[in-house]
Chains A and B, each alone.
Chain A
Amino acid sequence: MNGRRLRRRVVSGTMTALVAVLSFVAVLALVLILGHLVAKGASSLDWNFFVKNPLPAGQSGGGVANAIVGTLIIVGFAALIGLPIGIGTGLYLAEYGSGRVGWIVRFVADVLNGTPSIVVGIFAWTWLVKPMGHFSALAGSVGLAVLMVPMLARTTEEMVRLVPHSLREAALALGYPRWRTSLRVIARTALAGIVTGCLVGIARVAGETAPLLFTALGNLNFSTSILQPMQTLSLQIYVYATGPFDEWHRLAWAAALVLMGLVLLLSLAARWAIRQHHGAAR
């Protein structure tokens, strides 16, 4: 009996240690990736990197100014398209989503959430690039917006549902119409949470490459026209990383560090926003 108890305790201890080690391994992967990004990218970050455009292949130097600006423009337009639809859908689900339509929309959102981004890319190509006859940043933005909407809808719904019922009842009892209750009281109370959702959504699409391959395409020059092909950091990293030149590899690491910094900044801002929210919660 004693031996058996010992064995059970040993198994318990071993498995506890094992799951702790597995957690350590997962965190280690993150540390390694971020560590390599800094180690290999930081030394290339200088003024030129941010203000110069890429030089022709084979020459050293140059920067990714066009890609940084392009990323901001494409992601900005994606947010402009995606945020209203995503937040509106989320509000619908929270306010009126108890029926069958709500169920369908919710299910579709969850299913679309896992759509491969490359499929969204060829979808945007057929709907925008093919009819227009040329690649454009706008098509890329639409693709990113398609990726953003389902996620936004679900987080907004979740956040709005957290608002206590008593608030809604109080507003309605005071004679507020439903739309004002919804916008001025409910959505406003959930604002921090909704902002978090938006930031996470934007962060997620900011690093996307696959939907841009056949839409924004990439551009060696500085371009701010959304109807023309445009470079982004992600596309630049892809081209540089798979290219043959050491100089390109160096720039790819630096661009990856900048992109990662941008994404991390958005993620941390999202976390900060939700913390404000919980701090203010009654």
Chain B
Amino acid sequence: MTTVPMEPVAAPEPRWHALRGTNVTDRLYRGVLTALALMLPLLLIALVSELAVSAWPAIRHFGLSFLWTSVWDPVAGVFGAAPMIFGTLASSLLALIIAVPLALGVSIYLTEFAPKWLRQPVAFLVELLAAIPSVVYGLWGIFVLIPFLRTVVVPPLRAALGWTPFLSGVFYGNSLLAGGVILAIMIVPYIAAVSREVLLAVPVSQREAALGMGATRWEAVWTAVVPYGRAGLIGAVILGLGRALGETMAVTMLIGNRHDIGLSVLQPAYTMAAAIANEFSEATTDLYLSALFEVGLILFVVTVVVNALARLLIWRVARGTAVGSRAL
């Protein structure tokens, strides 16, 4: 062959390759990242289908009555989840009643009133509550909170409101009240962190306008700032609710674990998460196991719906930014 090879030796790759995205390695890079990212939706699908398949025997066997019957008898093979569903809702509701004023107070104080030098440290300390492991909350609850409730909180509560059905019966310690209070402490940091971000996202002009009209500082906050961020604040509360519904260890250790529906917060109750934690490894029959899977499925679906709702509300306020995700 006489012709000289035409291609230049080791020519640098033309730059426009990178810009047009035709570079092979670029495509590979994008492919790898996409594959990793798609694992999340796949995981969600796997989770749901796995739970649904495992729960199917119980769903077919009990139908919808699983949701409102309250007999839970592994020996007879009869399962109804009503007490756990009730307990989950009741303990979460109790937690919200305590935690929402507390968390909103914290976030309002930190964004509107606290001196500048105090804001970061206090916010950090409150968020540190989220770092405490659930099982440590449980330990603290058993040995500190329950004795405190028994000696300091319950007697005066009883004296004042003992005639209502909410405070009837003997208080042994492990109860709806103990579970609700520990849940409240656990969800405060989540609600506080997200609502703080929401309040920070409220434009300064809102406050200035209200103050300019002669409002006091509190009136400015309550009439101009809080309503502006309302959707986000509700989102924060719902996010807290999602946490409370699915919380397992601390509640399992404190709520008393009794299949029972009662109005009294002084009595033991049960939650869906606690039932799985307690009974999953002792489930001897297939139907028993399947019933627990159905409990898991219900719990999962409820938390997914609650979380999705919260996210949509928060996104509405702070579109596109990952508000509060740092705290989660």
Contact = CB atoms under 8 A, between A and B. Distances in A.
Interface string B88-117: 000000000000011101101110111000
B26 interface: yes
Given A30-B126, A96-B34, A154-B325, A210 B40 contact: no
Interface of B: 12, 15, 17-19, 21, 23, 25-26, 28-30, 32-34, 36-41, 43-44, 46-47, 50-51, 54, 101-103, 105-106, 108-110, 112-114, 122, 124-126, 128-129, 131-140, 142-144, 185, 188, 192, 216-219, 222, 239, 242-243, 245-249, 253, 273, 276-277, 280-281, 292-293, 296, 299-300, 303-304, 306-308, 310-311, 321-322, 325-326, 328
Interface string A115-139: 1111111110111000000000000
Contacts of B34: 92, 96, 101
Contacts of A267: 128, 131
A37 B122 contact: no
Contacts of B280: 121-122, 125, 213-214
Interface of A: 8-9, 11-13, 15-16, 18-23, 25-27, 29-30, 32-33, 36-37, 40, 84-85, 88-89, 91-93, 95-97, 101-102, 104-105, 107-123, 125-127, 146, 149-151, 153-155, 157-158, 172, 175-179, 182-183, 200, 203-204, 206-210, 213-214, 234, 237-238, 241-242, 249, 252-253, 256, 259-260, 263-264, 267, 271
Most buried by B among A22, A101, A105, A260: A22
Given A19-B108, A107-B308, A122 B36 contact: no
Nearest to B304: A111
Contact of A19 (B46, B105, B277): B105
By DSSP majority rule, is chain B's interface helix, strand, loop, or mixed? helix
Given A105-B38, A116-B247, A263 B132 contact: yes
Contacts of A125: 280
Listed from nearest, the 4 A-B pairs whose CB atoms lie closest are A207-B133, A116-B246, A22-B105, A88-B36
Contacts of B281: 213-214
Nearest to A157: B322
Given A40-B143, A114-B242, A114-B246, A22 B300 contact: no
Given A122-B51, A125-B280, 16 more contacts: A29-B129, A36-B143, A36-B144, A96-B30, A97-B37, A110-B325, A114-B303, A118-B299, A122-B276, A122-B280, A177-B25, A200-B326, A203-B131, A207-B134, A207-B136, A210-B134
B247 A22 contact: no
Given A23-B109, A204-B131, A175 B18 contact: yes
Contacts, number: 293
A105 B272 CA distance: 28
B140 A36 contact: yes
Contacts of A16: 109, 113, 217-218
A92 B33 contact: yes
9 contacts: A93-B37, A115-B47, A117-B248, A122-B292, A149-B39, A178-B23, A207-B136, A208-B133, A209-B135
B174 to A, nearest CB: 10
Contact of A178 (B29, B143, B216): B29
A91 B273 contact: no
B32 A118 contact: no
A156 to B, nearest CB: 10
A12 B308 contact: no
Most buried by A among B188, B245, B321: B188
Contact of B40 (A12, A109, A127, A200): A109
A116 B131 CA distance: 16
Given A118-B246, A208-B134, A26 B273 contact: no
Nearest to A27: B125
B26 A179 contact: yes
